[in-house]
Structure formats: structure tokens, C-alpha cells
Amino acid sequence: MINYANFTAAGIGAGLLGYFGRKTLMIGSMAVCIIGLFGMFIFDKINNDTMQIVLSITFIFGFEFGPGPIVWLYLSEVCNDKATSFNTVMCWFWTLFVSLTTTPLTNALGAYLWLMYGCI
């Protein structure tokens, strides 16, 4: 279900990018990401797994509409070749960092991890 949501959101996000523009789409989609993260915190605290899945998909849609693809567009347009290479490595490093630390942080912080991510 999550993979289908990711695939669908990526396709819709490409269409929305041409219609709304980057800045508007980035601001709006980050608001959707924050709502998804805060909602996951709330429904994790009250143990509602169905709503957590719905809000996870909400977060994925928000991410695929904005920060997912737009970062790569900005990197290729704003930076020269050397800076684009460095920034690509940094993006993948931080993606790996978040991926590796999410499980230990979830074990340590529980639902408060989603609240922390939402605040960041």
C-alpha cells in the first residue's frame, strides 16, 4: 500500500509541479508533511494503527509533491557541476542517516519521534 502511494504521489507531483510552481508547491507540501507527522504522533499515542497508516500516506504524498523532487531540480539549476556533485552526496548521506537512525530513535522515543520530526 505504501509503495503504491509513493508511486502515485510521484506521478501526481510531476503534474502539479508544472501547474503550481516550485515555491507554492514546496510550501504547501511541507504543510501536508507536518500535518502527517503531527497526526502520526497523536494517533500513535492513542494506538490507532489505521489512522497512522493514513497519515503515513499523507506524509508520503506531501513529500512527493514538494521536497522529494524539488530539491533535485534546485540542485541541477542553481549549482555548478562540482557543487551539484557535493550536494547530491550530502542529500544521500542525510537520507542514509535518517534511515539508519529512525528505528533506534523510535525504540528510544516512541511516538515522540514523529513530534520531533514534525517540529524540525
CATH number of the domain to which 52 belongs:
1.20.1250.20
* Residues of the domain holding 109: 2-119
At 100, is the pLDDT very low, low, confident or very high (cuts 50, 70, 90)?
A: very high
* Residue 18, pLDDT above cutoff 80: no
pLDDT value at position 77? 82
With CA atoms as reference, report the closest residue to 61 among 101, 103, 30: 30
pLDDT value at position 92? 92
* Residue 23, pLDDT above cutoff 90: no
* Residue 37, pLDDT above cutoff 90: yes
Contacts of 58 (CB under 8 A, 6+ apart): 32, 35, 36, 39
Number of compact structural domains in the chain: 1
On whether the CB atoms of residues 115 and 38 are closer than 8 A, the answer is yes
pLDDT value at position 26? 86
The dihedral built from the CA positions of residue 56, 60, 66 and 72, taken in this order, carries a sign that is positive
* Residue 112, pLDDT above cutoff 90: yes
